[in-house]
Structure 1
């Protein structure tokens, strides 16, 4: 796990909510349980900074669910993406394990993490940027090789 964060020089942060704290937000928990494609689509749109829509991500999630029966194979990659974007504790195997054990808890935790970071996943990326223009800042580029 340390090697993932060595390049940033920062220690990973804890998630702002626990994995099993999904029942403290019953609305999100119920949506993630009964319509996980909606919760996933909202998370994916924010994680992708609007490059994919909630509808497209949710539809792909649903398609994967009907074809393979294992949509968590797709959603665990977005957990990994969020974890790296916000330098959160965890690892790739743990991300997939959490989604395989309890997809509802994993999606609820990710949704609430975004809310605690100032996003409202239910309104989408572009509405969040309109509300808070600072969200659309260019990403930090790490120093690499130069001429």
Structure 2
């Protein structure tokens, strides 16, 4: 598991994309994939990465505002889930005017909190139940 992140703050800044070049490149070229992975984990696997990513792509292509709102909801959800300081207004502004940076920061945040992003929710649950040390410890529990 990666190092512990302080409760109440983001693990990286909004513009710290180069601290994790792989997530930066993924989000730049395929933001729908990064967003889908983030949303699946925040929804604890109730909806797939593919569904979230596809919906984000459709909303962002046909109406930028729709993509902003969808992204904003999950940024606020992540911030509230981990007690990260901030406001809904800031979440909205960042999601609308810096969508790639916002999604990349959210992706890095979940990685810093121990999630293996490409495994999705179910993969992370399986890693935890098999005793793999890289599985995340989540408040509220990750139960299969």
| TM-score (ref. length: structure 2) | 0.82
Which position in structure 1 is the counterpart of 2:50? 55
Which position in structure 1 is the counterpart of 2:141? 137
| TM-score (ref. length: structure 1) | 0.80
Query: What is the root-mean-square deviation of aligned Cα atoms in Å?
Result: 1.8
Is 1:44–2:39 an aligned residue pair? yes
| Runs of at least 5 residues in structure 2 that lack an aligned partner in the other structure | 1-6, 130-136
| Runs of at least 5 residues in structure 1 that lack an aligned partner in the other structure | 1-11, 140-147
Which position in structure 2 is the counterpart of 1:23? 18
Is 1:125–2:121 an aligned residue pair? yes
Which of structures 1 and 2 has the bigger CA Rg?
A: 1
Which position in structure 2 is the counterpart of 1:76? 72
How far did residue 32 of structure 1 move? 0.9
Greater mean deviation of Cα atoms: 20-29 or 64-73: 64-73
Runs of 4+, deviation exceeding 2 Å: 133-139
Residues 138 and 32 of structure 1, relative CA distance in 2, 3 Å threshold = closer
Greater mean deviation of Cα atoms: 20-29 or 73-82: 20-29
How far did residue 91 of structure 1 move? 1.0
Hey, what's the Cα distance between the residues in 2 that align with 1:130 and 1:138? Answer: 10
